[in-house]
Amino acid sequence: MKILIAGFEGKNNSSKIILNYIKEKSKEDILYLKNDFNICKKQIEEKLINQYDYVLMFGQKTDTKNIYLENNATIGETKLTTNYYYGVLKENLEKNNYKVISSNDAGNYLCNEVFFRALNFKQNNNLKSKIGFIHIPTINNIIDIKNLSSVILNYIETLYDIFNIALLQLSPMNKIENNMLKGIEYCRKAKEKGADIAIFPEMWNNGYEMLFEGDLKDQDDIPQEKVERWNSKAIENDDEFIKCYINLAKELQIAIALTYLEKTEEKPKNTVIIIDKNGNIILKYSKVHTVDSKMEAYTQPGTEFKTCELEYEKGKVKLGTMICFDRDFPESARILMLQGSELILVPNACYMSKIRLEQLKVRAYENMVGIVTVNYANLSGKSSAYSPIVRNINKHELNSEVLVMDNSEDIKIVQFNMSEIREYRRRETLGDAYRKPYAYKQLSENNVQEPFIRKDARRNIEEVI
């Protein structure tokens, strides 16, 4: 995590006083901007090239006792808008009795100029930095500059409440043992990259080996020995494949979302477990929405969705899981949200088309949860992550896409600021805030009408267990 704090020089400049306080109390990178148009533009651009995660700039505003959180900067006919989420900062300031204004006018002098140049440089260089600008009163209009500095410093510390997720976008090997070894190698790489948890694609132990292509109804005959050979790839919960990852999680002190074809007394299950950094299995979930028209007719569906609480370096996070086809049903993510999930992990094994990516984006939006999907590289990749935060405190739309990978085999780390997500969920209107459950009774009924009747659909619990 890299954070840059910038503000203007000046003997009695309130922004400089705040920078001095932060510099004394913390290890953030501090930039004192010159009160010169050309120099300050050059200063900020030279810093931004260092790829900061957050850039927080301060300037002073005369004739006010309010604090202004700037959303835009304008030069001529060009207006640039920040994607900085000010919600937690606003909350912290208001708790300390400061009047906070969400502003769309950064002025027409140095503050506006340097904010515009920073946003423009970010845009032109495709930087991921989140850049914010805060106007504070002049020193004579601040009752206690030290207290304000302390509140801002406490806010900066919340920027480190980051949960790091490693997306292991891999291609499978030809044997379970080789998949196991490859997965171990990539978990080690994930740890080196600072991950709190590593997530595998769906059914990693056999690489989602296909029993047959296409729909089941299109098959002339599926030899029983072929089914038995596929079933033989299912593993029990005390299998060496799972034990090795339990030991790896303890060794590396990293959580692992491990997927596999689970052996049961009946048909095998499509399962994911979450192993915490101490080697404990804290969640076990089997895919509810099996693709019954295809080879997953030979698997046994799960019967419930599950959420767990995972402890990581910065705190605790509530995680839910769903698997591939589960994401096509809004009920899956909805139930996980109702159980308290803050982030949903989605192991996947199918082509991720544009509409499927947009679908995940909507699931994150409507439930106010983060969603991370991990797909196989050889199935087109496009592993992805979406934030629940779609607007700032001034109701300006933000891009909730955190990441969409290409089709190459790779590891990517995505970061979710849990403080920001929790504050956003407290004040926004979706999720469970205004639902009307009394009107949803029909959702749990088993009656189905044309054109949706399918003979192979296992809709009732009696057909599942």
Share of the chain above pLDDT 90, in %: 82
d(CA 55, CA 160): 13
Mean pLDDT, rounded, for 12-38 = 92
E-only strand ranges, 342-383: 343-347, 370-374
Min mean pLDDT across 242-256, 418-432, 443-457 is at 443-457
What's the rounded Cα separation, in Å, for the pair 462 and 11?
Answer: 77
**What order of strands is seen across the sheet that includes strand 315-321?**
307-312, 315-321, 343-347, 370-374, 384-386, 401-404
**pLDDT-based confidence at residue 465 (cuts at 50, 70, 90):** low
SS3 category, 79: strand
Q: Is the pLDDT reported for residue 189 higher than 90?
A: yes
Reading the block at residue 312, the tokens are 């990581």
Tell me the residue type at 349: A
Query: pLDDT at position 396, please?
Result: 82
44: amino acid identity, one letter: I
Residue 462 confidence (pLDDT): 67
Question: pLDDT tens-digit profile of 203-220?
Answer: 999 999 988 888 888 888
Strands 100-103, 130-137: pairing kind: unpaired
Q: β-strands 130-137, 3-8: how paired?
A: unpaired
CA atoms of 352 and 405, how far apart (whole Å): 11
- Packing angle of the helix pair 418-427, 87-95 (nearest 10 deg): 70
pLDDT, mean of residues 132-160 = 93
Asked if residue 394 has pLDDT above 80, the reply is: no
Which pLDDT belongs to residue 337? 98
Is the separation of the CB atoms in 36 and 109 below 8 Å? no
Residue with tokens 């509530």: 318
pLDDT tens profile 266-288: 899 999 999 999 999 999 999 99
Q: How far apart are CA 383 and CA 360, in angstroms?
A: 11
Widest distance between CA atoms in the chain: 85
Neighbours of 375 (CB within 10 A): 27
**How far apart are alpha carbons 22 and 146 in whole angstroms?**
10
| pLDDT tens digits along 315-350 | 999 999 999 999 999 999 999 999 999 999 999 999
pTM confidence score: 0.90
- Estimate to the nearest angstrom the gap between the alpha carbon of 419 and the chain centroid: 13
Number of H helices, E strands in the chain: 12, 20
> Does the pLDDT of residue 463 top 80, yes or no?
no
Give me the DSSP letters along 31-69: EEE-SSHHHHHHHHHHHHTT--SEEEEEEEESS-SSEEE
Mean of all residue pLDDT scores within the chain:
94
pLDDT-based confidence at residue 430 (cuts at 50, 70, 90)? very high
Count Cβ neighbours within 10 Å for each residue of 246-280 and write b for 16 or more, e otherwise. Answer: bebbeebebbbbbbbbbbeeebbbbbbbbbbbebe
**The two structure tokens encoding residue 109:** 């002098």
